[in-house]
Amino acid sequence: MRKLSMLLVPGLVSMALAAGPMLTSAYAAGSDEPSPPPKSDSSAKKGKKKSSSISDPKFLAAYRTAYTTIYDGHDYTSAIDQLKSLKRDDVADVANLIGYSYRKLGDYQSSKAYYELALKDDPNHVRTWQYYGLWQLEQGNREQAQYHLNKIASLAGTDSSEYRSLAAALDKPTGATLVY
């Protein structure tokens, strides 16, 4: 019996290590640091400096706190309050996390509004395309979710965690409970 376990354990460990990256990266949550605004940001042309708050240490600390509240604490109501207190829901990363939190609370109308606000700020914000695609799936809009998946492929490629996450959700049968 001991010889058998000595043979099986290394094989099981190898299999777990090989599968580990596939299991953990499919549903990546993004980054705890907001992205810089897009280069084509029209508000910068109007004299409004969006990036100034993103590089502000107080803003970054508050953003990271809200991020942790969402992904570690699963306290979406508190996170919404924290993110709104930043007074920067016009920044794609902030709006996206507010939208995500509303979606997790089941407030789909508010979630949609914030996802659209995030895409208005940055039409190439990959995480918003991912989360909004998951929103579409939850609403039963598989064709729209597929459109979002194609958009992610064009922006970040099919190897990106955002693409893999939405593709895995799309692979599930209609009505299946999504885990992400």
**Burial class for 100, CB neighbours closer than 10 Å (0-12, 13-18, 19+):** buried
List of residues 6+ apart from 132 with CB closer than 8 A: 99, 112, 115, 119, 148
pLDDT at residue 138 is higher than 90: yes
Beta-carbon count within 10 A of 20 CB: 10
Contact 128, 92 (CB under 8 A): yes
For residue range 83-115, list pLDDT tens digits in order: 999 999 999 999 999 999 999 999 999 999 999
Helices 57-71, 92-105: crossing angle, 10 deg rounding: 20
Distance of alpha carbon 54 from alpha carbon 35, whole angstroms: 8
- The DSSP call for residue 176 is P
pLDDT band of residue 54 (cuts 50, 70, 90) is confident
pLDDT band of residue 125 (cuts 50, 70, 90) is very high
Alpha-carbon distances of 36 from 28, 33, 109, rounded to whole Å:
19, 9, 27
For residue range 55-89, list pLDDT tens digits in order: 889 999 999 999 999 999 999 999 999 999 999 99
Contact 98, 83 (CB under 8 A): yes
Say which amino acid occupies 54.
I
The pTM of this model reads 0.73
